Amino acid sequence: MTTPTESPAVRRLDDWDAVDLSALLDDYGSPLYVLDLERVRENAGRVRTAFSGAEILYAVKANALGDVLETLRDEGVGLECASAGEVKRALAASGSGADVHYTAVNPPARDLDWVVDAWEDHPDLTITVGAEDTIDRLEERGYDGRLCLRVNPGIGAGHHEKVQTGANAKFGVPAERAVDVLTDAAERGFDVVGIHAHVGSGVSSDQLDDHREFVSRMGDLAREVSTAVGGLEFVDVGGGFGVPYREDEEPLDLEAVADATREAIGEIDATLTIEPGRYVVADAGVLLTEVNTVKEARDTLAVGVDAGMTTLLRPAMYDAYHPIRNLTADSSTTDGNGGHTSRETRPQTVTGPICESGDVFCTDRRLPASERGDVLAIGNAGAYGYEMANQYNSRPRPASVVLEGDAVRLARRRETFDDVTRLETEASAPETGTGSDGNADTDADREAHNDHDTR
């Protein structure tokens, strides 16, 4: 386990070495995701220091790469999973179900089938449910293991309305029903271990009051539930810690958030649990992409790159800001590291190759004048970057490399055109060995995937 060091609260895009990054693109091709595992460790270390005594579960959905999960398990961080697929990854990285939580949101039958199956081998796995009937569906499958209830606290926060969950009907059981639901679950033989809520993602310092109010409600609820059900192991207040995407934005004061959390929750006879995702991986990753088209448009310089909304969806989906740096221009300065290029700067619109007008990384942003063949780096791409990548326009997903000290390793190869059509090819040739759903790698998976969704 890494001892907490004085790691900086944020790594800016300018802190990456332009020459080293450009060399990676030469070696591995474009576009390319780069993730620094040492920075992942540092970020986890700062969370652990600020929230000492709390249990930390990393939200796998932010970046599910096996290397990330293994690195975090080595750091003593648990794993919070949003699907059976993520549970499968978490168990592979962890080897045990302890500190692996599955947060079931409207869980498809095949997810419940798979997770309950896995629970037989990993009885210390925890399932968090967000609806009463999910409890019935678990009971039907013979599950009576560790159960946590996700409540809807009625307060939402986060960087965009699409990531605010705390007051959204989709998530959790209204908090006022929690005592009844958990009393009933305990009577039915479930091992009731915790309560959970998550207000949203990318919560900033100016939303600290909402956070305080939310945590204070969770503290009250924990005391009520403990009295009714007889003690809880943990109170999970979710993730959501924001990171600065803009160059002039200050990082979150994590110590202040931790202090506010402890104060607001009050006296509880249970472990405080948190589920950071973005905070742990965002600034550990960059996306590299090559300029292929430079065009004087009517009122801007349109710069086409080979990454697009299929590679990094956040700008198209949330109008999210990501810093962009021209590594080729910066490499021509003496230090190649945050140095300023002598190229003139001018407003540019950086766009991808997808046939959608929303396929834009920035509009009229002042950058060193781009030239064809330049390498651009897009910062803060470690969280919800590759995870949200897709094959729209039949575009293969990029490769990912990880950095570990001075070592560089290909962590996930680039997809090929054959990968894009593989599922069709295999559907018409089932003898290729992956089963008729073309996606199964064990008999159990195969059965689960072929099952009709009747439960």
Q: What is the binding site for ligand LLP (CB under 6 A)? A: 59, 61-62, 80, 103, 163, 198, 201-202, 238-241, 275-279, 314, 318, 384
CA 199/CA 161 separation, integer angstroms: 11
Strands (E) located in 17-125: 32-36, 55-59, 78-81, 100-104
Torsions phi, psi for 148 (to 5 deg): -125, 145
Between 138 and 257, CB nearer to ligand LLP: 257
Q: Which of 156, 149, 154, 155 is nearest to 178 (CA)?
A: 149
Nearest distance in Å: CB 131, ligand LLP: 14
CB atoms within 10 A of CB 356: 14
Contact, 319 vs 362, CB < 8 A? no
Between 18 and 286, CB nearer to ligand LLP: 286
Nearest distance in Å: CB 18, ligand LLP: 26
Nearest distance in Å: CB 292, ligand LLP: 26
- Residue 276: is the preceding peptide bond cis (ω within 30°)? no
Residue type, 450: N
Nearest distance in Å: CB 36, ligand LLP: 18
Contact, 392 vs 310, CB < 8 A? yes
CA 214/CA 67 separation, integer angstroms: 33
Q: Which of 382, 258, 379 is nearest to 323 (CA)?
A: 379
Q: In this structure, what token pair is assigned to residue 102? A: 């599955």
Nearest distance in Å: CB 57, ligand LLP: 8
CA 221/CA 153 separation, integer angstroms: 10
Q: In this structure, what token pair is assigned to residue 372? A: 């064809």
CA 29/CA 62 separation, integer angstroms: 24
What is the DSSP-derived secondary structure letter of residue 200?
B
Nearest distance in Å: CB 240, ligand LLP: 4
Nearest distance in Å: CB 345, ligand LLP: 28
Q: Which residue has the tokens 């999960």?
A: 69
Between 50 and 163, CB nearer to ligand LLP: 163
Between 11 and 61, CB nearer to ligand LLP: 61
Nearest distance in Å: CB 205, ligand LLP: 14
Q: Is 355 a catalytic residue?
A: yes
Between 28 and 361, CB nearer to ligand LLP: 361
Between 238 and 352, CB nearer to ligand LLP: 238
Q: Which of 79, 85, 137, 139 is nearest to 106 (CA)?
A: 137
The DSSP-derived string for 129-187 is ESSHHHHHHHHHTT--SEEEEEEE-S---SSSGGGB-TT-TTSSEEGGGHHHHHHHHHH
Between 164 and 351, CB nearer to ligand LLP: 164
Q: Out of 81, 148, 355, 362, which one is annotated catalytic?
A: 355
Between 318 and 392, CB nearer to ligand LLP: 318
CA distances from residue 184 to 143, 178, 187, 229 in whole angstroms, order as listed: 15, 10, 5, 9
Q: Give the rounded distance of the alpha carbon of 383 from its chain centre.
A: 5
User: How many H helices and E strands in the chain?
Assistant: 14, 18
Helical ranges in 75-123 per DSSP H: 84-94, 109-121
What is the DSSP-derived secondary structure letter of residue 241?
B
Q: Which helix (H) or strand (E) holds 292?
A: strand 285-296
Between 137 and 278, CB nearer to ligand LLP: 278
Nearest distance in Å: CB 276, ligand LLP: 5
Provide the annotated active-site residues: 355
